[in-house]
Amino acid sequence: MTAQSPSAAVLIIGDEILSGRTRDSNSGHIAAFLTEIGIDLREIRVVPDEEDRIVAALDALRTAYTYVFTTGGIGPTHDDITADAVAKAFGVAIEYHPEAIEILRQHYVAPEELTEARLRMARIPVGATLIDNPVSKAPGFHIGNVFVMAGVPKIMQAMLLNIEKELHGGVPVQSVTVDCPFGEGVIGTALGEVAEAHPLVSIGSYPVLAARNFSTKLVIRSRDAAALAVAKTAVEAMLADIARHKAGDSTLTDY
């Protein structure tokens, strides 16, 4: 199902996520964005703000996937080390980028406003092209197959829209959800048979727990709309069959 499709990884850089203080919302946003344009997100990694760890993750991911998207670590403070790590991973120098300096100069007009810290955000690996930041101006950048974006969700989201035109998407995976009123343990065997009989789709089964009762969300995914429709009908028929035959079972909403 995914052999022909462009693939991607997301690399989240941030001690703050690993400490549990801040919940990462960027990876979920990027995941949904990529699904819409037909790029398969195949891995998410979160690593600390440590150069060697960022370099190692970048090297592992950029050689394994079509695209890598990073968030975080490109601001003006001492703990923002992503640009340096990216330069190191690509074996290039990092320099003040004339266009990035100009963008900052137009925004921070008085010389004392363009602080040393803010100017630091114009340091870009040599050979990279800038990603426009309509929110706070300091750009992201793109080098090789790696797209380097800010960690602030609003800025990251704006940058993502600005790089969409540079990404080669594939046929989007479509999905339908069938709500199953029974627990997974009731439908598991029959569902496995349906899944096996419909190799053009993938069927995911997700337990939902509410007030001690389990139900299940069945998500059918495919790039082939016809196959998706056929599989959906088969899943619904299977559920109707179970409802008929197991009507008296007191464990229908157990796991």
Binders of a copy of itself among 3-42, rule CB under 8 A? 12, 15-25, 27-35, 40-42
**String of contacts with a copy of itself for each residue 73-92, x by CB under 8 A:** --xxxxxx------------
Residue of 81, 92, 101, 135 interacting with a copy of itself (CB under 8 A): 135
The piece of 93-101, 122-130, 141-149, 178-186 that touches a copy of itself (CB under 8 A) is 178-186
Binders of a copy of itself among 42-71, rule CB under 8 A? 42-49, 53
Binders of a copy of itself among 196-255, rule CB under 8 A? 196, 202-207, 209, 214, 219, 221, 249-251, 254-255
Rank residues 93 and 209 by Cβ distance to a copy of itself and give the closer one.
209
- Provide DSSP, the chain: --TTS-EEEEEEE-HHHHTTSS---HHHHHHHHHHHTT-EEEEEEEE-S-HHHHHHHHHHHHHHSSEEEEES--SSSTT--HHHHHHHHHT--EEE-HHHHHHHHHHS-STTTS-HHHHHTTEEETT-EEEEETTTEEEEEEETTEEEE-SSHHHHHHHHHHHGGG----SPPEEEEEEESS-HHHHHHHHHHHHHH-TTSEEEEEEEEETTEEEEEEEEEES-HHHHHHHHHHHHHHHHHHHHHTTT-TTTT--
Rank residues 127 and 161 by Cβ distance to a copy of itself and give the closer one.
161
Rank residues 83 and 121 by Cβ distance to a copy of itself and give the closer one.
121
